[in-house]
Structure 1
Amino acid sequence: MASPRLRYGRCSRTGNVYSLTTTTHGREPFFSDAGNVAVLVDALRFVERSGISHSLAWVVMPDHLHWLMELQKGTLAQCMALLKSRSSRQLNRISGRKGPLWQHGYHDHAVRTDESLHDKAMYILGNPVRAGLAGGLGDYPHAWCRWPL
């Protein structure tokens, strides 16, 4: 379970860019299955179509998600609650499973104006390479970025 201390100092501002990480319950590798990844990607796109976020990059790892996004409206908590609840409901429904999909909480980092969004996106896309799941940037099938590699 994530520490409640993760919420201390959390500030949500529309128009700010955030790097977010959230982990599956018990670090279960739910997203080793491409069908489950598709459900999560659909949930990411749903949050964006709802006008809450504007995605810049994401990578779905077997047991967690890294997401670089601009908050368009609401709060980070509302954004993450919508993403987690939608993906959980869909995955539980199609797989016949019950129970939580995600751990409570999430890690967030407000990207400073002097940080390069492109560099932050490339760092996120490098996660599968560093984890040994891909040989190089662009080789991992469950990643997306608005900038070309």
Structure 2
Amino acid sequence: MYKSQNLRKGRVSLPHHFYAITLVTHNRSNYFVNLDFNRHIIKQMQLLEVQEYLKSNAFIIMPNHIHWQFQLLINSPLPQIIRCFKGRTAAACCEFGIYKLWQKGYYDHLIRDEDDLVKNARYIIANPLRAGLVKNVADYPYWDCVYV
């Protein structure tokens, strides 16, 4: 990721606030096209929720990146949660023939208000439409949203 150190400038980690993050695969490779692997990714998202680190609002797994909106639930820094998620997902990727899953860094956006929350969730879910992967978001298999 070009100048990924700049992504950390101004980053804050506030419990009970909502964030939208984007994680990109190494070299933007299309790793997220395998049903079993994507199930593993979703399982790791759910595990962080079960462990009460966060509460997911919306996510979409695109072929080479993930958009994920969630609320931090405990006083665990955002970078620690992302590091945990990336580590857990990368640990199992060898069995799928993937040896380097993630690009360094990630993009995060602190959600400002209720309007921003809903608009951002809609933006996340509409990704396959904008990418031309499907004509109707209901036809795309790897997403979830509490607002739909």
Same fold (TM over 0.5): yes
Alpha-carbon shift at residue 146 of structure 1 (Å): 1.1
List per-residue Cα deviations over 1:92-132 (Å, max 9, x = no partner).
2x22543x210111000001025342322111000000001
Tell me which stretches of 4 or more aligned residues in structure 1 moved more than 3 Å: none
Q: Indicate whether 1:88 and 2:90 are aligned.
A: yes
Q: Quick check: 2:37–2:96 contact (8 Å CA) kept in 1?
A: no
**Against the structure 1 CA distance between its residues 124 and 97, is the aligned structure 2 distance closer, same or farther, given a 3 Å change threshold?**
closer
Alpha-carbon distance in 2 for matches of 1:121, 1:139? 18
Alpha-carbon distance in 2 for matches of 1:69, 1:114? 13
List per-residue Cα deviations over 1:30-63 (Å, max 9, x = no partner).
1011121111111111111111110000000000
How high is the TM-score relative to the length of structure 1? 0.92
Identity of aligned residues (%): 34
Alpha-carbon distance in 2 for matches of 1:115, 1:13? 19
Alpha-carbon distance in 2 for matches of 1:138, 1:75? 34
Helix, strand or coil at the partner of 1:115? helix
**Greater Cα shift, 8-17 or 29-38:** 29-38
Counterpart residue number, 1:77: 79
Counterpart residue number, 1:131: 131
Alpha-carbon distance in 2 for matches of 1:113, 1:144? 21
Letter in 2 for 1:26: N
Counterpart residue number, 1:112: 112
Helix, strand or coil at the partner of 1:66? strand
How high is the TM-score relative to the length of structure 2? 0.92
Q: Indicate whether 1:145 and 2:128 are aligned.
A: no
Helix, strand or coil at the partner of 2:32? helix
For these two proteins, the number of residue pairs brought into alignment is 146
Alpha-carbon distance in 2 for matches of 1:124, 1:103? 20
**Greater Cα shift, 7-16 or 34-43:** 34-43
Alpha-carbon distance in 2 for matches of 1:56, 1:70? 8
Stretches of structure 2 lacking an aligned partner (at least 5 in a row):
none
Superposed counterparts of 1:16-55, under 5 Å:
16-55=17-56
Q: Quick check: 1:126–1:136 contact (8 Å CA) kept in 2?
A: no
Q: Indicate whether 1:14 and 2:15 are aligned.
A: yes
List per-residue Cα deviations over 1:123-143 (Å, max 9, x = no partner).
100000000111123221001
